[in-house]
Amino acid sequence: MSPYIMDWLNLLIRWFHLIVGIGWIGASFYFVALDFSLKKRKKMKDGVLGTVWEVHGGGFYHTEKYMVAPAELPKDLIWYKWEAYLTWASGIALMIVQFYWHADIWMVDANVLDIAPQTAIVYSVLSLTAGWFIYDALCKSDIGNNTPLLMLITFFLILGASYFYTHVFSARASLIHVGAFIGTIMAANVFSIIIPNQKKIVASLLKGDKPDARYGKIGKQRSIHNTYLTLPVLVMMVSGHYPMLTNHPQAWLLVGLVIVGGGALRHMIIRHEIHAPFKGYAWTFPVIFVALAVAMYMTSPVMKVVSGDVDVMSDKQLMVMINTHCASCHAITPTHENFDVPPKNVVLNSAASIAKFRDLIMSNVVDADTMPLGNETEMSDEERVQLGAWLLAQE
């Protein structure tokens, strides 16, 4: 398929993924905040647990929450499920278009692990599936009743997955996979637990029985898990733009910090939204701060090249290096089969154009090895140091 068609497919699926993802996250945060905002009032209908008054977009809204369910099933019940299903489905479609399609350059990096592209795809599919089954079994076991223990084990499960991905896939593919691993658990929570339990409640209502409150409780547990995982997933999904994260030798530890910091941030946002007493969630601030500080410290740039260390090569030698390692993609008309326009508009056809992208080349090629993509042209560490010295001399 032509790179032009692939780019359009990629863009349209990505746009769709964002739209439904925003819908999913928005609804999920809204309902958690709604739950916390419920107040018991003097005049409430039978079976109502609490109500909320809200104002938005020029109107006032009065929402009631029923304990388990209303006595009669409303005909026009709105289900919130397609946001989750479509976010997951479009995420997988994007995974195929962006990564599986050209797994040789996007997923495999021989310096990490020399595997066949097909093997990488098999690892990806199997690990994403296994993640859900392990997590679901944990929740259903006795551990499921012990929230702190469940949290801890789930945390280590994700950390383990991160270790696996960062030691098997290219940097570009690894943290995105952590995001997909968590996202799959979240979507499967909706698909296999939250909605089916809700349907059981509806079914017993239709039969005229009293629905079992347990189903609602189990659904709520998974729904709360989902909101804590949401914010870290977002960092994983944009991680590809930040080689300081994806190419860090201990990127899997950074994932741990993102989960701790992002989870605490979720806690803080919801408490703040519902005007909870500050004392109750003040602890989230130091947690977020420490997680962020450690992550920033870990990723602080290690100067691989210091001016004066290495002789600076001539512009002619530079062009030979760039033509060998970069020009197949970063030319006005790339010769690489997967590209017909220069990626990210980065054209490297003269010393001046290379100097123009100095900082980006420094972070992607010298400090990290994000480029050449998948190290397809086998650029050596010495060459990277030489390139760094040339870039440093351009100040």
Q: How far is CA 133 from CA 84, 130, 188, 189, 377, in A?
A: 18, 5, 10, 11, 39
The reply on whether position 376 binds ligand HEC by CB under 6 A is yes
Q: Which two tokens stand for residue 100?
A: 């599986």
Closest by Cα among 81, 92, 84 to 14: 92
Residue 128 or 361: the one with the smaller Cβ distance to ligand HEC is 361
Please say which residue, 198 or 328, places its beta carbon nearer to ligand HEC: 328
x/- map, 82-111, ligand HEC, by CB under 6 A: -----------------------x------
The piece of 196-204, 211-219, 301-309, 327-335 that touches ligand HEC (CB under 6 A) is 327-335
Our CB check for ligand HEC shows the closer of 271 and 330 to be 330
Nearest CA-CA partner of 6 in 341, 333, 331 = 341
63, 156, 390 from 393: Cα distances, Å: 65, 45, 5
CA dihedral 190, 254, 114, 360 (to 10 degrees): 110
Residue 377 engages ligand HEC in binding (rule: CB under 6 A): yes
325 lies in the site for ligand HEC, by CB under 6 A: yes
Q: Which is nearer to ligand HEC, 177 or 330 (CB)?
A: 330
CB of 336 to ligand HEC, least distance (A): 5
Largest CA distance in the chain: 84
Window 347 to 366, contacts with ligand HEC (CB under 6 A)? 348, 357, 360-361, 364-365
Nearer to ligand HEC, 123 or 357 (CB): 357
Distances (CA, A) of 69 to 4, 23, 40, 80: 51, 24, 17, 16
Judged by the rule CB under 6 A, the positions of this chain that interact with ligand HEC are 105, 240-241, 325-326, 328-330, 336, 343-344, 346, 348, 357, 360-361, 364-365, 371-373, 376-377, 379
